[in-house]
Amino acid sequence: MEAQALEHERRLGRTQGEEALKHAIAAAELYMQAAGDAKTPEDRKRLRHKCAELIGLGERLKANNPVSDAASRPPVPESTRPLTTAEKTIILKASRLHGNIFPPWQSAPDPGSFSSAGSSGAPYKDPYPFTFSVEQQAIFAGWRRPAELTAGAKDGGAEGGLEQLMTVRAEMDLAQDLATDCSVVASLCAAARHFGPTKDSLLASLIYPFDTKAMRPELSKSGKYVFRMYFNGSWRQVAVDDRLPASKSERSLYVVDRRNPRLIWPALVEKAYLKIRGGYDFPGSNSGTDLHALTGWIPEQIFLQSDDFELDETWGRIKKAYDEGNAILTLGTGNILPEEEKVLGLVREHDYAVISLKKEDDSRLLLIKNPWVDSLVWTGVGSSATLKAHTVGSTSESSSNQFWMAFEDVLQHFDSLYVNWNPALFTYRQDHHFKWEMPDKTEELVFTTNPQFSVLSPSGSSIWVLLSRHWQDGELEILRQRKAEKDRGDAPLATVSKQLGFMALALYATSPPGTRVPLPDTHRRLYQCPYVDSPNTLLRYDPNPGVPQTLVVTQTELPLPAYSFTLSFFSNDPLTINPAPSPLPHNISITGTWTRRTAGGSAAHPSYFTNPQYALTLPHASPLTCVLSTSARDLPVHVAVLFSASSTTSNNNHNNPQRVTAILGRDILCSSTEYHRGCTSASTPLLDAGTYTVLVSTFEPGHTADFTLRLSSSCPLTIKPLPASDAAGRLRTPVPGVFFTPGQSRIRARVGVTRLTRLSALARSTAGSASALRVALERGTGPHRTVLAVSGDGEFADASMGLRTGEVDVEPEGVRAMGGLWVVLEQIGSGGVGMYTSTTSGRNGGADGVQVEVLSDGAVHLGGWEDADEE
């Protein structure tokens, strides 16, 4: 039964009108029957939720696709997913912005609120104090109502009446002057064809009051206008009055239509949008973001200078969508040099509207409009179009500030193409809202705290995922600072962009499917959209049918401590989306620091064991994953899980673990494959119950940084730092002139002390010796000698990771009476080949590279090596 319902859903995504409505009803009925037969509460809840989604979709199909007009535009999908209490709280908190409250949209406002002035007899006055820049404030002449701004316009007149303030008499020619909102005006210009007096006009759901017969905005007698705009995860209500900022000069502080200067509804749209963005001293945006707020259409930023840009594919899909009325196009320039601006006729870091597209002969052309009043127009210098020279770059009085440009020239002179796509291209939409506390600097390079979602599609039909960062007051100050720096030229564009931070989306294939991803992994990454500093980014991909995939929200350098976001999934098949679970349910994190004392470097250095070490205890056998990340992005790091003297629960020492001071190859239970910059990971499919040592290291000694170590397992685990190495702060005295003659296997050097001293011996092969070694501290010689401490429980081993004895206390009198104290080095496997290593200033050279040191808490005196084979 559920399979039948799913098939109707699939057909629903491929049909329209009455046919789509039939499939929606059939699927809803089948899901309701399946819910009644479900055996578990979870299945009943899931199936009832699917039923509710289909009923909601059916209602929208009825409203938007009457039987008598099956060819009408498909309905715009809305998310019918029930919100959790936490999500509802996020949406409500995001209503507060710049001292205003913008409540989520519930329904169209009461027409009575626009019919007359309030009880006091005065028209509505918005209490919000709109701000102005210094330049704007200098010419600001106060707020004026429409009748005050339009000389000669009186109530009741036909051609001269106030109704003309809302009527477009000819094709609009909108222009920006002193308002710093080129992206807004470019957006209005580009969307003008969707604001016309047709049944599909986007104005009908944007501005209230609205005359549905004339299909244009209606004059509000109360002076109040309400706008329905999409931002901060919801359609929201934005109310403004009809007052506009008057000017003391001929310059304008709001958008004007040069063919009908009395038309004010574009200026009211602009005012409402600037209210949610902070004021008339608008610090800047991009037209894709602005159009998303004004229309709800899906924004996509296409980077024209990217190596991945596909010219033919991009032209094909935007031309088709534009011709069908499903795309609004705008363009943005980059940081053009001042001397190039005049030559090219283009303004740097400026947004332009695309008015039309066409293909003529072999040229693909865009009609582009600069929204500024009396601004530069492209000169056509270096044009690659095959049209007549006067056609490309030309303009006229009837199309002011407009010019044709070949698509190839657009790629050369513009940085970004912004496309806002009609959401009605999709049948289904699912919104998820979440808050993200920004991770500690040490975890910025990994995904341990990133929001992640498991996405399952029944087909390979394309999925679009839009990530929207909610605006908040703290970002406005950053934007204003950014604009001030750009205006002063204090910082290059790249530096300024970093002030706002960047975000992106990435899709991964995981094992098990749909589980969390611990850190970036290019081998498992399927798709990645570019990092952007705008509040929206879009990922388009084709899913693997029937297999959950993991979507990761990523960021870098977002400056505020916390953000809220909305993820909107658009598809033509129903999707199953949930927070991605961790592949191992038990997780624990610990932070630490490599200091000058503890940054011991890799195992190639004698100081390796001074690196931070941790005791990890597993009560049961379990898989284990370790993720190590640091605040130093370029620092190579490594993590290893080691067997130690307390690595089994049967050992009485597991409750009092000790630092590892030497290891054999078999002691490394798992480790990261190599030193990786900034972050790395290690895992093992099964680790027995017990206590182990986790050692984290940098490649070179002395490189300091903070780090975070995160461990995951299938059972509860504990981790605690082991005390600083007992070798830290000890005197390191090298034994000079390590020398084996051919066939020699055992040599010794005398150790002298002048007071009670605690010491140990360390041997390390630094150049890949073929010999297995053992180092010991012995008292006396001959048959009566006593072994005080020996490395590796007396076993010979590879010394590349270091071999160290335990520590012993010795007194001068005791060692003299018992035949002296000796450091003894033994080898096997030399094949009778002599080995000589000289030691200078603590660094060894020589054929096999063996280094021997005595670590002590007091001064020691070392003699030369002598033969000890006779023993």
What are the extents of the domains in the chain? 2-69, 107-276, 298-421, 426-579, 586-721, 731-867
Report pLDDT for 647: 44
Residue 480: its H or E element: helix 473-488
Q: pLDDT band at 653, cuts 50/70/90?
A: very low
Distance separating the N- and C-terminal Cα atoms of the chain: 86
Q: What percent of the chain has pLDDT over 70?
A: 86
Pair 360, 170: CB distance under 8 Å? no
Question: Does the pLDDT value for residue 632 go beyond 60?
Answer: yes
Sign for the pseudo-dihedral over CA of 531, 537, 541, 545: positive
Residue 240, Ramachandran bin (φ over 0: left; ψ between -120 and 50: alpha; else beta): beta
Q: pLDDT band at 656, cuts 50/70/90?
A: low
- CATH code for the part of the protein at 426-579: 2.60.120.380
Pair 820, 808: CB distance under 8 Å? no
Both structure tokens of 87: 């999500």
Question: Residue holding tokens 């959209």?
Answer: 529
Question: Does the pLDDT value for residue 494 go beyond 60?
Answer: no
Over range 182-201, report the average pLDDT. Answer: 91
Report pLDDT for 279: 92
Both structure tokens of 168: 């477009």
Annotated catalytic residue: which of 194, 350, 432, 470?
350
Over range 202-226, report the average pLDDT. Answer: 93
432 is catalytic: no
Tell me how far apart the alpha carbons of residues 709 and 587 are, in angstroms, rounded to a whole number. Answer: 11
Both structure tokens of 398: 């009837």
Tell me how far apart the alpha carbons of residues 18 and 11 are, in angstroms, rounded to a whole number. Answer: 12
Instruction: Answer whether the bond into residue 439 is a cis peptide, omega within 30°.
Output: no
Burial of residue 623, with CB atoms counted within 10 A of its CB: 0-12 exposed, 13-18 middle, 19 or more buried: middle
* Candidate from 16-30, 336-350, 646-660 with smallest mean pLDDT: 646-660
- Mean of per-residue pLDDT scores for the chain: 86
DSSP reduced 3-state for 762: strand
844 is catalytic: no
Report pLDDT for 64: 53
Report pLDDT for 871: 67
Q: Please state, in angstroms and as integers, the Cα–Cα distance from residue 337 to each residue in 333, 349, 382, 483, following that order.
A: 11, 10, 16, 17
Q: Is the CATH number of domain 298-421 2.40.50.100? A: no
- CATH code for the part of the protein at 586-721: 2.60.120.380
pLDDT digits (tens, 9 = 90+) for 78-136: 998 999 999 999 999 999 999 999 999 999 999 888 987 666 678 999 999 999 988 99
Report pLDDT for 505: 98
Q: Is the CATH number of domain 731-867 2.60.120.380? A: yes
Both structure tokens of 808: 């012993």
Q: Calculate Rg over the CA atoms of the chain.
A: 36
pLDDT digits (tens, 9 = 90+) for 255-314: 999 888 889 999 999 999 999 999 998 887 899 999 999 999 999 999 999 999 999 999
Both structure tokens of 587: 């997780």
Report pLDDT for 13: 63
CA nearest to 590, candidates 546, 545, 627? 627
Both structure tokens of 192: 């003008």
370 is catalytic: yes
Over range 375-380, report the average pLDDT. Answer: 78
Tell me how far apart the alpha carbons of residues 182 and 418 are, in angstroms, rounded to a whole number. Answer: 14
Tell me how far apart the alpha carbons of residues 571 and 546 are, in angstroms, rounded to a whole number. Answer: 15
Which residues, other chains included, contact 366 with Cβ-Cβ below 8 Å and sequence gap of 6+?
Answer: 329, 331, 354, 356, 357, 404, 405, 406, 407, 410
Annotated catalytic residue: which of 182, 529, 670, 679?
182
Other beta carbons less than 10 A from residue 691's beta carbon: 21
Over range 188-200, report the average pLDDT. Answer: 91
Read off φ and ψ for residue 318, nearest 5 degrees.
-75, -35
Pair 486, 320: CB distance under 8 Å? no
Report which listed range, 177-186, 434-443, 601-610, 666-675, is most confident. 434-443
Question: Does the pLDDT value for residue 426 go beyond 90?
Answer: yes
Annotated catalytic residue: which of 65, 286, 326, 370?
370
CA nearest to 539, candidates 302, 333, 317? 302
Tell me how far apart the alpha carbons of residues 240 and 250 are, in angstroms, rounded to a whole number. Answer: 25
pLDDT digits (tens, 9 = 90+) for 512-547: 999 999 999 888 999 999 999 999 999 999 999 999
Q: Do domains 298-421 and 426-579 have the same CATH topology?
A: no
Pair 267, 92: CB distance under 8 Å? no
Tell me how far apart the alpha carbons of residues 640 and 768 are, in angstroms, rounded to a whole number. Answer: 21
Both structure tokens of 429: 């939409």
Report pLDDT for 228: 97
